[in-house]
Chain A
Amino acid sequence: MTSQPTDQKLAAEYLLGSDEALDQLIERYLDRIYAFTHRITQNSADARDITQEVLVKVWRKIGSYDSNYAFSTWVFTIAKNSSFDFLRKKKQAVFSDFTNALGENLLEESLEDNSPLLEIVADRKLDKDHLEKVLTKLPIEYRTILSLRYGEGFTLTEIAKIMGKPINTTKSQSRRALLELRKLLTS
């Protein structure tokens, strides 16, 4: 049984002239990109527009992809940036009040509650639809981090790279997001 080629291998093959390699990459990521952008925008039409934009950017910029990093991280960085830009243009993004212009969370309080999302969901006996609805009320950075972590399965290190922030900031924001989520669920 032959194993599937890695993303890096497919990217390299496309740059050497194989259009089929790019087709395979697109097939791998299309649904995930759509799901992610839908979680951010909560709108099917917007998610489709952003997904189209992301696919075009991936195609045009694949020459600049650094194979020392995971391809998924690179693709979702583009998806995150495209989603944020789209929402900023539509003035639909509610960014966290605690985030400064550099994207750093300035709140230095100790965050004691480290309950992962699974525990919160189990604790409240939530179904996934209700959880998705509550998530829409979070500021966009928190929604993005939780989406990347609990929707796409990225580690916090990978999420930090996608968000373009230091790992400690991402950890703080992740904990903060879960706290905000818990507050919304109890209110």
Chain B
Amino acid sequence: MGNNSDHILSAEKMPAGARDNLIRGLESKRIKSARWNLAIFLGVGIAALAATIVAIMLFTDEFAQSGIHQYLSLILTDADAIFDFWQDFLIIFAESFPIAALIAALAAIVAFLYSIKIIFRNIKTAMAKVRLAK
């Protein structure tokens, strides 16, 4: 607020009980909204968890089928070959790596973590009760 100190106009006081009613009104809407968010994101979270499991299984399966692990094992047995033919190695890696499955797995994980965040954000409010009238 600024420096104007001409508070000449008086402030109308709320009728008795109105203050509590207004606060309870807002509280009621916040609780209802939190319960909706909780219900929706519990569903989304469960679906995202299932999608994460499926996506990780798919990724590991495709990774095993790609043969990349055979090239990676060369690092331990014949590292010189990796350094001599690193460009070919990179091309093989880029062509074989199951990038789509990895993206799907990461997306499912992000969706799951976001759902957890929303659930934790809303659970306290959703479980609250609107204060009773005095």
Which A residues are within 8 Å of any B CB, using their own CB?
17, 19, 26, 30-32, 34-35, 38-39, 44, 47-48, 51-52, 55-56, 59, 70, 72, 116-118, 121, 128-129, 131-132, 135, 146-147, 149-155, 157-158
Which of B9, B11, B18, B26 is in CB contact (< 8 Å) with A56?
B26
Contact call B11/A35, Cβ cutoff below 8 A: yes
Contact call A153/B4, Cβ cutoff below 8 A: yes
Which B-chain residue is minimally distant from A48 (CB atoms)?
A: B18
Distance to closest chain A CB from B26 (angstroms): 5
Question: Complex formed: what's the CA distance from A117 to B7 in Å?
Answer: 10
Most buried by A among B7, B8, B18, B124: B8
**Residue B76 CB within 8 A of the other chain:** no
Which of B7, B15, B21 is in CB contact (< 8 Å) with A153?
B7
Q: Which chain A positions have C-beta within 8 A of B25?
A: 52, 55-56
Distance to closest chain A CB from B77 (angstroms): 51
Contact call B10/A132, Cβ cutoff below 8 A: yes
Question: Complex formed: what's the CA distance from A116 to B4 in Å?
Answer: 11
Contact call A59/B1, Cβ cutoff below 8 A: no
A to B CB contacts below 8 Å, 7 in the list: A35-B13, A117-B8, A150-B8, A151-B9, A153-B4, A153-B5, A153-B7
Contact call B1/A39, Cβ cutoff below 8 A: no
Q: Which chain A positions have C-beta within 8 A of B4?
A: 149-150, 153-155
Most buried by B among A121, A146, A151, A154: A151
Per DSSP, chain A at the interface is helix
Distance to closest chain B CB from A59 (angstroms): 6
Contact call B26/A59, Cβ cutoff below 8 A: yes
Contact call B6/A117, Cβ cutoff below 8 A: yes
Which B residues are within 8 Å of any A CB, using their own CB?
1-15, 18-19, 21-23, 25-26, 29-30, 121, 124-125
Taking A17-B121, A52-B25 as contacts, is the C-beta distance between A147 and B9 under 8 angstroms?
yes
Q: Which chain A positions have C-beta within 8 A of B9?
A: 39, 128, 131-132, 135, 146-147, 150-151
Contact call B23/A30, Cβ cutoff below 8 A: yes
Which of B11, B22, B125 is in CB contact (< 8 Å) with A19?
B125
Question: Complex formed: what's the CA distance from A154 to B6 in Å?
Answer: 9
Question: Complex formed: what's the CA distance from A48 to B14 in Å?
Answer: 8
Contact call B19/A30, Cβ cutoff below 8 A: yes
Question: Complex formed: what's the CA distance from A112 to B34 in Å?
Answer: 55
Contact call A116/B12, Cβ cutoff below 8 A: no
Q: Which chain A positions have C-beta within 8 A of B30?
A: 19, 59
Q: Which chain B positions have C-beta within 8 A of A30?
A: 19, 22-23
Question: Complex formed: what's the CA distance from A52 to B29 in Å?
Answer: 11
Question: Complex formed: what's the CA distance from A17 to B118 in Å?
Answer: 10
Taking A19-B124, A47-B12, A48-B18 as contacts, is the C-beta distance between A150 and B29 under 8 angstroms?
no
Taking A17-B121, A19-B124 as contacts, is the C-beta distance between A26 and B26 under 8 angstroms?
yes
